[in-house]
Amino acid sequence: MLAGAALAVAWIGTAHAQFPERTLTLVVPFAAGGSTDVVARIVANKMSEDLGQQVIVQNIGGAGGNVGASNVARAAADGYTILMGTVATHALNPLILKTKPYDPEKDFAPVSLLVLVPNVLVVNPQFPAKTVAELVALLKAEPDKYAYASSGNGTPLHLSGELFKSMAGVSMQHIPYKGAGPALNDVIGNQVPIMFDNLPSSSGHIKSGTLRALGVTTAKRAASFPDLPAIAETVPGYETYTWNALFAPAGTPADVVARLNAASKKAMADPEVIKRMNDFSATIVASSPEELGAHVKAEVAKWTPIVRDAHITLD
What pLDDT, in 10s, does the model give residues 48-105?
Answer: 999 999 999 999 988 788 899 999 999 999 999 999 999 999 999 999 988 888 999 9
Question: What was the pLDDT predicted at 280?
Answer: 79
- Give the domains, in start order, of the chain with CATH numbers: 22-115+243-309 (3.40.190.150), 118-233 (3.40.190.10)
Query: What single letter denotes the amino acid at residue 209?
Result: G
Determine the angle formed by the axes of helices 35-51 and 271-279, rounding to 10 degrees. 180
Report whether the peptide linkage leading into residue 20 is cis, meaning its omega lies within 30 degrees of zero: yes
279 to 167, 227, 272, 276, 303: CA distances (angstroms): 30, 16, 11, 5, 29
Does residue 164 register a pLDDT over 70?
yes
Question: What was the pLDDT predicted at 11?
Answer: 42
Question: What was the pLDDT predicted at 231?
Answer: 98
Quick one: pLDDT band at residue 17, thresholds 50, 70, 90? low
pLDDT (tens digit per residue) in 280-290: 788 899 999 99
Does residue 146 register a pLDDT over 70?
yes
Does residue 121 register a pLDDT over 90?
yes
118 alpha carbon, distance to own chain's centre = 9
Quick one: pLDDT band at residue 136, thresholds 50, 70, 90? very high
31 alpha carbon, distance to own chain's centre = 14
pLDDT (tens digit per residue) in 223-272: 889 999 999 999 999 999 889 999 999 999 999 999 999 999 999 999 99
206 alpha carbon, distance to own chain's centre = 21
Residue closest to 194 by CA, chosen among 208, 215, 179, 178 = 215
The C-alpha atoms of residue 154 and residue 140 are separated, in whole angstroms, by 24
Does residue 312 register a pLDDT over 90?
no
The C-alpha atoms of residue 134 and residue 225 are separated, in whole angstroms, by 20
pLDDT (tens digit per residue) in 185-221: 999 999 999 999 989 889 889 999 999 999 999 999 9
Question: What was the pLDDT predicted at 81?
Answer: 98
The secondary structure of the chain, three-state, reads CHHHHHHHHHHHHHHHHCCCCCCEEEEECCCCCCHHHHHHHHHHHHHHHHHCCCEEEEECCCHHHHHHHHHHHCCCCCCCEEEEECHHHHHHHHHHECCCCCCCCCCEEEEEEEEEEEEEEEECCCCCCCCHHHHHHHHHHCCCCCEEEECCCCCHHHHHHHHHHHHHCCCCEEEECCCHHHHHHHHHCCCCCEEEEEHHHHHHHHHHCCCEEEEECCCCCCCCCCCCCEHHHCCCCCCCEEEEEEEEECCCCHHHHHHHHHHHHHHHCCHHHHHHHHHCCCEECCCCHHHHHHHHHHHHHHHHHHHHHCCCCEC
Using a 10 angstrom Cβ sphere, with 0-12 exposed, 13-18 middle and 19 or more buried, the burial of residue 290 is exposed
Question: What was the pLDDT predicted at 36?
Answer: 87
The C-alpha atoms of residue 151 and residue 179 are separated, in whole angstroms, by 4
Q: What number is the average pLDDT over the span 36-58? A: 95
Does residue 174 register a pLDDT over 60?
yes
Q: What is the mean pLDDT of the chain?
A: 91
Question: What was the pLDDT predicted at 2?
Answer: 46
